[in-house]
Amino acid sequence: MAAITSDVHVEVRRPRRSVVIGVLLVVWVAAYFVLSGIDTLPLGGQETTGFHRWLTENRDFVGQGNIVFDTIRSVVDQLVVLLQSLVSQPSYGRPVPVVGWLGVVAISAYLAWAFGNWKVAVLTAAGLAFVGLQGLWQESMDTLALTIAAVLLSLLIAIPLGIWAGLSNRAFKVATLILDLMQTLPTFVYLAPLTLFFAIGPAAATIATLIYAAPPAVRLTAHAIRSVPPESVEASRSLGSTRGQTLTKVLLPMSRSTVVVGINQTIMAALSMVTVAALIDAPGLGQTVLKALQTLDVGVAFNAGLAIVVIAIVLDRVTTAAGDRPWRTASVRRKVLLGAGAIGVLVAIWFSRTYVWAAEFPSSIGVGSRIAVIAADVTTWVQDVFGGFTYGVRDAVTKGVLNPLEALLTGSPWWLVGAVVVTLAAILGRWKAAVPAVVCIGLLVATGVWQDSMVTLASTLLATVVVVAVGLTLGVWAGRNRRVDLVIRPILDAGQTMPPFVYLVPFLALFGTSRFTAIAAAVVYAVPVTTKIVADGIKAVPLATVEAANSVGSSSWQVISKVQLPVARRAITLAVNQGLIYVLAMVVVGGLVGAGALGYDVAAGFAQSELYGKGLAAGLAIVLLGVLLDRITQAAAPKPHGKGDKQ
Amino acid sequence: MKKLRYATAQWAIGLTAAALALAGCGGAKVGDEQKPAAGGKECGSFNLTVSPWVGYEANAAVVAYVATKDLGCKVVKKNLKEEIAWQGFGTGEVDVNLENWGHEDLKKKYIETDKVAVEAGSTGVNGVIGWYVPPWMAAKYPDITDSKNLNKYADLFKTSESGGKGQLLDGDPSYVTNDEALVKNLGLNYKVVQSGSETALIQAFRDAEKTKKPLLAYFYEPQWFFNELKLVKINLPAYKAGCDADPAKIACDYPPYDLDKIVSKKFADAGGPAYDLVKNFKWTNEDQNAVARMIAVDKLTPDAAAEKWVNANRAKVDTWLGK
């Protein structure tokens, strides 16, 4: 029913809105020709404002020696070192870690089997053996140790926060704002200051990872708690349960599977931080990637990136299986088998502590170097074959779309751009969107990097449009066809967790150093998340609804456009929103391949102490762009009528 | 289905156990292999930052190798960006930086104001910063190496990013560049475009030489990439002391850099053989390039590269050790 009402709503309102918006844009373009070049607030590469210098000077204001930071640091450090000595580093006077590779494979497969099923157990064993064969066992274990530490700490903080935000509306509003900040503020902005608070080493790397990885778990926990039907809560209350009992007996069990999705996303986010954290000496695969890129060795970098992807896929499938497993006590048979398995694991651990072949992964098998050679060859081939063509595409898109858009945004006076944005927000979402727009525009001007923000905004808009178009197409396709879903899911996982640094080199060869290269990289990174959310939304459309549409003879196109997309509207809004946030998360990486503007400012602030303040201001500008675009897209999305959240 | 599942699991466990029992009997036991020489008593351990370029890694590899093998020190290498390594002097996380490129502002802060670091002499390596073109361009347009002729060729360097002017590609944001001021003060019809990273620069040069694309970019020596491609430097008006005093009015080339070593105050005050080694360590661009080449092109591990070089240059190493 909701679908039909909203359809009507769309048909009545849209034309009027779009006419008004069209007129607004025409007025803007006309005004641009008259006013271009006035009040554009430019700022040269090495120039700073008073605000930037103030930020630079006050950077060290907390400093170290603070007892709170020292305590946190030593606790986190010890946790990481403990995990490392268990699986990766020589420890306790022995030349090998406490548990050798055989033991780690056995334990992991056993856990996967106990919490998931035998299929993921096989996958786990195969995945771990594969990274070993790649010649990256120790690096992978370092990465795993750091990831586990960061994920454990993230969950320790995120789950209670998520529950709180799930129960209280006010906490939910505050949390959403802070989470937006945590996810869009570029890591580079807080990486260097973190080392001031927590010194160089595993602690700073873990905490940097935590900041980026915790938000999904908070969001999804809160979302899960809020989605529990009120009837269940009322029933529990009426039976005389206390608040605590309602939480532990009703709310938490009912939201378990969604919370697991949150944990899963946290793991993925933590793994995507591996390379960035390596910049402050985090051990593991990130180091291998960075070292290989110093000599532009795409093959070796790809090999290490592939290991990260494999670990990510294993962790993803195991947590998903654990989330899907029904909550029931095991049968006697399974208990016996689990017991037998446990004994097998203990035997494997004993072997891995006693014999060298089970402790250190045999290094003679050169799978890794063969992968590296193949990857390098493929890259060269692609570059040679498509090189000329890709430059043509780049020039066409840049000249035809990007340059005019950028000229319009950077050439107009700031107050004109501001007025257009606020009016647009007001048309789409009335004062609820207009007020945040006014605040964001004001703060953007205050950051002193207005013109750079507009350059970045132009690229971001273009990238987001492409992401949404590609993500919707792929998502609908995968959502309607199980086989497609099965094939593209590992590719999507790879897109999300393969360190961007790895594919930047081939991209640079294909497109040169340009804004277009940055857009391409952002698209690769953001399409997976958009596709996944759309696919899940399409799959969630009740089968009966689709069949009803089919039975009245609708074509596939009609089913998609009139039934599936409108019903999956909420998922699509979320997909657009996440696509946008992911595009913004890549702005800094874009700065490393020629996008300039905000991304470059942030990177320069990380590298040069006198530009720190400007880098921080640019980081804040990225957040502001994120909040601004987020509020406008939310407002533009058609609201469901009446029923509210639950459908 | 269920039956099958358990049967499979049982089989898997059984097989694994059997395989373990079979394979286990013959293997070498953990702890059989030689323990590393019990060193480190006299020398102790020190933290060595490793900045993210191959030339630096060559320094670090050789110093770490000599410190470990000849002095029995324990060297903890930390992979850090320069800025963060400087912070580390204050927190005690970093003791030694073997190759510092200028950074007068950081010297002022950490050496003069905070007094947590001290200079430890020249690395012996000369750093050069400037504008470069790929070799094919220098061959085809011989007079391009004079900056006065750059305007003549500006059209060649147009790209989608340079807004109708010639493109001057800048690199890693770690380095302070005067390029915007230079372009303006030399009256060049060029626009500075930020590539944003060393990776992007090197890839651009590689591509430019391979497909004969024009490219003018900021680059520096020593750099392992010169082993692959001999880039040609553009002659800007010669550097004279003081010509770069006012950043906005610079119209001369970059100064030659004498790369130097910085150590933490604590490490210097403690003295000891490791400090003496670091202080005496000095080699040349050729030495560094040789080791960097082994690491970057021949794909040796840093340690293996260091071993090879040290064995071939024992006399030089002995002077560092005061022998």
Range B152-163 average pLDDT: 87
- Contact call for residues B224 and B292 (beta carbons, < 8 A): yes
Tokens 């033991």 -> residue: A103
Q: Which residue of A has its CA nearest to B15?
A: A344
Domain residue ranges in chain B? 45-124+259-320, 128-249
Task: Identify the bridge partners of residue B96 per DSSP, sorted by sequence position.
Answer: B48, B263
Subunit contact A95:B109, Cβ cutoff 8 A: no
Q: What pLDDT is recorded for position A638?
A: 61
Chain A partners within 8 Å of B160 (Cβ): 394-395, 398-399, 514, 516
Alpha-carbon torsion, ordered A568, A570, A575, A581, to 10 deg: 180
The CATH number that domain B45-124+259-320 falls under is 3.40.190.10
Subunit contact A513:B54, Cβ cutoff 8 A: no
Six token digits for residue A374: 């193949």
Chain A partners within 8 Å of B195 (Cβ): 513, 593-594
Q: What pLDDT is recorded for position A643?
A: 37
The model's pLDDT over B58-90, given as tens digits with 9 standing for 90+, comes to 999 999 999 998 888 889 888 888 888 888 888
How many Å is the Cα radius of gyration of chain A? Answer: 26
Q: Out of A200, A356, A515, name the one closest to residue B30 (CB).
A: A356
CA-nearest of A183, A190, A219 to A581 is A183
Q: What pLDDT is recorded for position B63?
A: 92
CA torsion sign for B53, B56, B58, B63 is negative
DSSP assignment of A110-159, as one string?
Answer: HHHHHHS-HHHHHHHHHHHHHHHHTT-HHHHHHHHHHHHHHHHHHHHHHH
Q: What pLDDT is recorded for position B281?
A: 92
Long-range contacts of A384-387, Cβ-Cβ distance < 8 Å, separation of 24 or more? A386/A510, A387/A509, A387/A510, A387/B207, A387/B211
CB pairs < 8 Å spanning A and B: 205
DSSP assignment of B120-131, as one string?
Answer: EEEEEEEEEEEE
Subunit contact A354:B17, Cβ cutoff 8 A: no
Domain B128-249 has CATH 3.40.190.100: yes
Distance in angstroms (rounded) separating the CA atoms of residues B291 and B66? 14
| Domains of chain A, each with CATH number or no CATH | 2-36+382-636 (1.10.3720.10), 68-365 (1.10.3720.10)
Task: Express as a percent the part of chain B with pLDDT over 70.
Answer: 87
- Contact call for residues A98 and A91 (beta carbons, < 8 A): yes
Q: What pLDDT is recorded for position B203?
A: 86
Subunit contact A96:B30, Cβ cutoff 8 A: yes
- Contact call for residues A499 and A287 (beta carbons, < 8 A): no
Q: How far is CA A40 from the centre of its chain?
A: 33
Subunit contact B196:A591, Cβ cutoff 8 A: yes
Q: What pLDDT is recorded for position B34?
A: 44
pTM over 0.90: no
Distance in angstroms (rounded) separating the CA atoms of residues B265 and B281? 18
Q: Which residue of A has its CA nearest to B25?
A: A355
Is residue B170 helix, strand or coil?
strand
The model's pLDDT over A524-540, given as tens digits with 9 standing for 90+, comes to 888 988 888 888 888 77
Subunit contact A592:B197, Cβ cutoff 8 A: yes
The model's pLDDT over B188-201, given as tens digits with 9 standing for 90+, comes to 999 988 888 888 88
Subunit contact A280:B84, Cβ cutoff 8 A: yes
Six token digits for residue A336: 């016996």
Determine the distance in angstroms separating the CA of B164 from the nearest CA of chain A, rounded to an integer: 11
Determine the distance in angstroms separating the CA of B60 from the nearest CA of chain A, rounded to an integer: 14
The model's pLDDT over A70-91, given as tens digits with 9 standing for 90+, comes to 788 888 888 988 998 888 888 7
The verdict on whether omega for the bond into residue B222 sits within 30 degrees of 0, i.e. cis, is yes
Residue B31 pLDDT more than 70? no
Chain B partners within 8 Å of A64 (Cβ): 90-91
Six token digits for residue A424: 């647009």
CA-nearest of A528, A586, A388, A412 to A35 is A412
Subunit contact B196:A594, Cβ cutoff 8 A: yes
User: Which residues of chain A fall below pLDDT 70?
Assistant: 1-15, 45, 58-66, 196, 326-330, 364-365, 637-647
Distance in angstroms (rounded) separating the CA atoms of residues A309 and A499? 9
Same fold, B45-124+259-320 and B128-249: yes
Q: Out of A295, A347, A394, name the one closest to residue B224 (CB).
A: A295
Task: Identify the bridge partners of residue B46 per DSSP, sorted by sequence position.
Answer: B75
Alpha-carbon torsion, ordered B277, B279, B281, B283, to 10 deg: -170
- Contact call for residues A259 and A266 (beta carbons, < 8 A): no
Task: Express as a percent the part of chain B with pLDDT over 90.
Answer: 25
Q: State phi, psi for B130 to the nearest 5 degrees.
A: 180, -165
Model ipTM?
A: 0.75
